[in-house]
Structure 1
Amino acid sequence: MNRETDEVREAIAGELRLMDPSVRTSRSLARQLLDPDFVEVGASGRQWTYGEMLAELPELGGAAESGPRYEPSNFIGVLLAPGLVHLTYETTFDGNRARRSSLWRKQGAGATWQMYYHQATPIPPDGM
């Protein structure tokens, strides 16, 4: 049930930009898309803070132009409240699949949408 509002479309666009190698290797571009209160629980189980993610994103998977890239599918977005969008989707990266959930927020007039929270859960090879 994808409620295709402008807010949901903008959050999906931000999510896709964060998968772009040119954004992943640019701390200044990534900074624009991550909320200062950002937290991630990665598919490995590791928790990332805003500062850790900005520091390490250029070295993480999906950052090399010639390397494997994230292949997203099945986006579902819901506007939970003014300025708060929840996205769920799946990715395939280098043969590994994950279910993903993100919260995007926009604070105040003229602000941009930024990822506030992200979680990735591996999908076992049998797809269960």
Structure 2
Amino acid sequence: MGALAILAAHICGLEEQLLSNEVRTNPAAVSLLIADDYTEFGSSGRVYKKEDQVGEGGAGEVRMTLSHFELRTLSEEAVLATYRTFNEDTGIHCLRSSIWKFRDGRWQMFFHQGTPVKGK
């Protein structure tokens, strides 16, 4: 397995952690995974900052599955992750993109965007 494939598996695992309710409802766990200067353009059209994700209750519970994960290198310390999610509660499919930066010895999400799409 090449270096990019290993990194892709790692970043995909971090994305999956951010979809797990165990992590999402733990503000300290979410705080480790997202950067202090984090911005999200949510699939709802709302804009979120880190403080919106790490308050009481964390980022909130979801039931989503991740598929079609791809990773592109932007620089030695930044990558772009793209994938699809399916929200099992709403039935909504979304295209997702995240920029991860390597800081202080770990990868953290710097930017995220969700865009609803029709069908699969």
- TM-score, normalisation: structure 1: 0.82
Report deviation, 1:80. Answer: 1.4
Higher relative CO (CA 8 A, sep ≥ 6), structure 1 or 2?
1
Report deviation, 1:54. Answer: 1.4
The alignment status of 1:13 with 2:13, answered yes or no, reads yes
Residue segments in structure 2 that go unaligned for 5+ positions in a row = none
Note the aligned Cα RMSD (angstroms): 1.9
Structure 2 match to 1:79: 73
Structure 1 match to 2:95: 99
Residue segments in structure 1 that go unaligned for 5+ positions in a row = 63-68
Structure 2 match to 1:50: 50
Q: Deviations over 1:24-51 (max 9, x none)?
A: 0100111110011100000011000111
**AA at the equivalent of 2:19:** M
What is the CA–CA distance in structure 2 between the aligned matches of 1:15 and 1:103, rounded to whole Å?
Answer: 11
The alignment status of 1:24 with 2:24, answered yes or no, reads yes
Larger strand proportion of the pair? 2
- TM-score, normalisation: structure 2: 0.87
Question: Percent of aligned pairs with the same residue?
Answer: 29
